[in-house]
Structure 1
Amino acid sequence: MAVVSLFISHFTPILSLYLLFHSTTVISAVNITHLLSPYPDLSDFSTLLSTTTVAADLSQRSSLTLLAVPNSFLRSSDLLRRSPSSTNIADVIRYHVLLQYLSFHDLSRLPPSGKLITTLFQTTGRATSNFGSVNVTYDGETNTTTVRSPAAYSQTPNNATVISLIRNLPYNVSIFSVNSLIVPYGFDLLASETRPPLGLNISEALIDGHNFNVAASMLAASGVVQEFESDEGGAGITLFVPTDDAFADLPATANFQSLPADKKADVLRFHVLHSYYPLGSLQSIVNPVQPTLATEDKGAGSFTLNISRVNGSVAINTGIIQASVTQTVFDQNPVAIFGISRVLLPKEIFGKNAIPEKSPPINGAPSPVMSTPPLNFPPELYGPSSPPGSREELRSSATTVRSMNLGVLCIGLLYVFV
Structure 2
Amino acid sequence: MAAPLLAFIFSLLAIASTVRGYNITKILANYPDYSSFNSYLSQTKLAEEINSYPTITLLALNNDAMASFAGKRQLSVVKKVLSLLTLLDYYDPESLHQISEGTTLSVTLYNNTAGNAPEYLGYVNITDLYGGQVAFGSAVSGSKLDSYFTKSVKQIPYSISVVEIDAPIIAPGILAAPAPSPANITGLLENAGCKTFAKMLAKSGVLKKYESVIKKGLTVFAPSDEAFKAKDVPDPTKLTKANMVSLLEYHALAHYKPKGSLKSNKNKVSTLATTGAGNFDLTTSTSGDEVVLHTGIASSRLVHTVLDATPVVIFTVDNVLLPTELFGNSHSPAPVPALSPAEGASPTAPSPSEPPTDESPESSHSNSSKGLANSKSANAAVAVSSPSLFTALVTLATIAVFQLVETF
What's the TM-score, normalizing by structure 1?
A: 0.58
Instruction: Name 1:138's counterpart in structure 2.
Output: 128
Q: Are 1:122 and 2:111 counterparts?
A: yes
Find 2:211's aligned residue among 226, 238, 242.
226
Q: CA deviation at 1:55?
A: 1.1
Is 1:150 the counterpart of 2:139? The answer is yes
Q: What are the residue-to-residue correspondences of 1:379-418 with 2, within 5 Å?
A: 379=360, 395-402=384-391
- 1:282-308 per-position Cα deviation (integer Å, ceiling 9, x unaligned): xxx9xx9699xx89999xxx8769799
* Residue in structure 2 matched with residue 163 of structure 1 by the alignment: 150
Instruction: Count how many residue pairs are aligned between Structure 1 and Structure 2.
Output: 340
Q: How far, CA to CA, are the matches of 1:336 and 1:26 in structure 2?
A: 34
Counterpart in the other structure of 1:385 = none
Distance 1:270 1:171, change over 3 A: same
2:321 to 322, 341, 344: 344
1:248 pairs with 234, 237, 244, which one?
234
Superposed, 1:106-117 pairs within 5 Å as: 106-111=95-100, 113-117=102-106
Structure 1: state its 5+ residue gaps: 1-11, 251-255, 276-284, 309-314, 326-330, 382-391
1:318 and 2:304 are equivalent in the alignment: no
Instruction: Work out the CA distance in 2 between the residues paired with 1:129 and 1:174.
Output: 26
The structure whose Rg is larger is 1
Give the Å deviation of 1:135. 0.8
Evaluate the alpha carbon distance shift between residue 129 and residue 307 of structure 1 in structure 2; reply closer, same or farther with a 3 A threshold.
Answer: farther
Task: Tell me, yes or no, if the aligned pair for 2:46 and 2:79 is still in contact at 8 Å.
Answer: yes
Distance in 1 (alpha carbons) for counterparts of 2:9 and 2:95: 33
**2:176: which partner in 1?**
189
Which residue number corresponds to residue 344 of structure 2?
Answer: 372
Q: Distance in 2 between matches of 1:324 and 1:38?
A: 37
Q: CA RMSD in A?
A: 6.1
Structural mapping, 1:215-294, within 5 Å: 215-218=201-204, 220-221=205-206, 223-226=208-211, 239-240=222-223, 243=228, 248=234, 267-269=250-252
Closer/same/farther in 2, CA of residues 38 and 406 from structure 1, 3 Å limit: closer
Which residue among 61, 72, 87 is the counterpart of 1:81?
Answer: 72
Cα deviation, residue 137, structure 1 = 0.7
Provide the residue aligned with 2:165 in structure 1.
178
Query: What TM-score does the superposition give when structure 2 sets the normalisation length?
Result: 0.59
SS in 2 for 1:248: coil
Shift of 1:147: 0.6
CA distance 1:170–1:213, change in 2 (3 Å): closer
Change (3 A) 1:210 1:318: closer
Whole-angstrom distance in 1 between the partners of 2:51 and 2:168: 22
Task: Tell me the secondary structure at the aligned position of residue 136 of structure 2.
Answer: strand
Q: Supply the distance in 2 between the matched residues of 1:191 and 1:212 (Cα, whole angstroms).
A: 20
Structure 2 letter corresponding to 1:119? T
Structure 2: tracts of 5 or more residues without a match: 275-281, 347-357, 363-380
Task: Give 1:182 shift.
Answer: 1.5
| Contact 1:18/1:409 (<8 A) preserved | no
SS at match of 1:192: coil
Following superposition, the deviation at residue 167 of structure 1 comes to: 1.8
3-state SS of 1:152 partner: coil
CA 248–161 in structure 1, closer or farther in 2 if over 3 Å, else same: same
- Paired with 2:291 and 2:53, the residues of 1 have a C-alpha distance of 24
SS at match of 2:179: helix
CA-CA distance at 1:357 after TM superposition = 1.0
Whichever residue aligns with residue 176 of structure 1, its letter is V
